[in-house]
Amino acid sequence: MPTLMTEATTLPTPLGGTLVNLIRRPGHDFDPAELRGLPRLELSDRSAADLELIATGAYSPLTGFLGEADYLSVIERMRLSGGTPWSVPITLPVSREDAGRLSGTVVLTHGGQEVGTIEVQERYDARKGFEAREVYRTEDPAHPGVAALYAQGEVNLAGPVTLFAVPRGAFPVHHRTPAEVREVIQARGWRSTVAFQTRNPIHRAHEYLQKVALELVDGLLLHPLVGTTKGDDVPAATRVEAYEVLLEKYYPQARTLLSVYPAAMRYAGPREAIIHALSRRNYGATHFIVGRDHAGVGSYYGTYDAQEIFHAFTAEELGIRILRFEHTFYCRSCGQLVSPRTCPHDSGHHLILSGTKVREKLRAGEDLPAEFTRPEVAEVLRRAYTAQDA
């Protein structure tokens, strides 16, 4: 069973013991002529993100999209068929028509460009209702993750994959593979690293959690998710810019690393919290912050369900320490950021703004309170919303 540390390094052992690397460069690792005449499959944005995360080792120990045995085991037990913790099925859904024409080595494309291959070893029917009930805890099509699941193809293809190149995309400076993040951590001499996941713009409560955690460890990996999110979420470019301006003035540069996480959001709440933690272990983090309603949406999950679910695994299995934080907010009477554990005042004293309220204020041209977010971040958001509405 893998342990948190190894004798040779303070970095955590990747899940499964080895960091997967399936990058195969055309013209370097193989002759591009080998791809001629092979069937092709265009990937969705989510599947393209999953391909990258598998091939670069973020989803170690996966070496391909899940076969049926692993698929059912993950849904039923939150484990791969061999027993390794894994909470969300990583599948390649296609139409029944495409499933019938695809066999052997298939060239994967995204945006019309060749990005990798899959060696098709299995085709099996997706159990969409079962997956929705167990993974998302609802079959409600209003849930964005369930809606995406229902819209997918009826058949899952499975088999090992390759990736031709890391798609650095819109954030080439911050887009690092797990191996590259690990290199930075080692070069900086961090013996412990806490990772923070968010799909939302950073605000003072996030900053508070990050800096409390940074009191406990050597380094902070700010790891915002930049893959596909639901339509009303703040765009990734705006969120990353907000991090950049904040880090420049308010964080210790030598103890902080901003690096983007290319996954798509599934909004699977507790189940997704597990995959977020396990993948950050593969990136080299020893600790992972889980706060209020991690990866949740609407009222589908309890406030702290994403913290409780980790009790289904032993510390040795997880290989990453979970830092659980309660809801944090500014209290006008305390005059500082607090949580229910430290504040004696009722909600009438608290400054809490929902994402909807923040968007309403920005669209109305109103200022965000300095107690809620730094002025520099508020300006980034204001400019983004002004341009969006122009």
pLDDT tens per residue across span 293-312: 999 999 999 999 999 999 99
Q: Give pLDDT, residue 265.
A: 95
Q: Are 124 and 158 in contact (CB under 8 A)?
A: yes
The segments of the chain whose pLDDT lies below 50 read: 1-8
Which domain-ending residue is among 112, 130, 163?
163
Whether residue 358 lies inside any domain: the answer is yes
- Check the CA dihedral 338-340-343-345 and report its sign: positive
In this structure, the answer to whether residues 142 and 185 fall within a common structural domain is no
Q: Give pLDDT, residue 230.
A: 84
In this structure, the answer to whether residues 139 and 65 fall within a common structural domain is yes
Q: Give pLDDT, residue 389.
A: 59
In this structure, the answer to whether residues 187 and 153 fall within a common structural domain is no
Which domain-ending residue is among 163, 190, 209?
163
Whether residue 109 lies inside any domain: the answer is yes
In this structure, the answer to whether residues 204 and 126 fall within a common structural domain is no
Q: Give pLDDT, residue 3.
A: 35
In this structure, the answer to whether residues 57 and 139 fall within a common structural domain is yes
Answering whether pTM is above 0.85, one says yes
In this structure, the answer to whether residues 51 and 197 fall within a common structural domain is no
Residues 295-306 as b/e (b if ≥16 CB within 10 A, e otherwise) read bbbeebbeebbb
In this structure, the answer to whether residues 238 and 140 fall within a common structural domain is no
Whether residue 26 lies inside any domain: the answer is no
In this structure, the answer to whether residues 96 and 219 fall within a common structural domain is no
Q: Give pLDDT, residue 269.
A: 97
Contacts of 375 (CB under 8 A, 6+ apart): none
| Residues with a known catalytic role | 199-200
Q: Report the CATH number at residue 106.
A: 3.10.400.10
Q: Give pLDDT, residue 260.
A: 97
In this structure, the answer to whether residues 153 and 189 fall within a common structural domain is no
Contacts of 33 (CB under 8 A, 6+ apart): none
Q: Report the CATH number at residue 276.
A: 3.40.50.620
Residue 376's Cβ-side half-sphere holds a number of Cα atoms within 13 Å equal to 13
Q: Give pLDDT, residue 108.
A: 98
Q: Give pLDDT, residue 7.
A: 36
Q: Give pLDDT, residue 144.
A: 96
| Rounded Cα–Cα distance for residues 94 and 188 (Å) | 43
Contacts of 378 (CB under 8 A, 6+ apart): 367, 368, 370
| Rounded Cα–Cα distance for residues 60 and 282 (Å) | 7
Coil vs helix vs strand at 182: helix
Separation in Å, CA 167 to CA 90, 110, 272: 19, 11, 23
Q: Give pLDDT, residue 198.
A: 85
In this structure, the answer to whether residues 338 and 248 fall within a common structural domain is yes
Pairing verdict, β 287-290 and 321-324: parallel
* Helix H or strand E segment including 281: helix 270-283
Whether residue 172 lies inside any domain: the answer is no
What is the number of other CB atoms lying within 10 angstroms of the CB of residue 272?
25
In this structure, the answer to whether residues 196 and 155 fall within a common structural domain is no
Count of structural domains within the chain: 2
Which residues form the domain of 332? 178-389
| Rounded Cα–Cα distance for residues 260 and 58 (Å) | 12
Q: Which residue has the tokens 């599947």?
A: 47
Strand order in the sheet with 287-290: 256-258, 219-222, 193-196, 287-290, 321-324
Q: Would you tell me the crossing angle of helices 375-389 and 355-363 to the nearest 10 degrees?
A: 70
Q: Which residue has the tokens 């540390």?
A: 5
Whether residue 120 lies inside any domain: the answer is yes
In this structure, the answer to whether residues 288 and 311 fall within a common structural domain is yes
Which domain-ending residue is among 107, 138, 163?
163
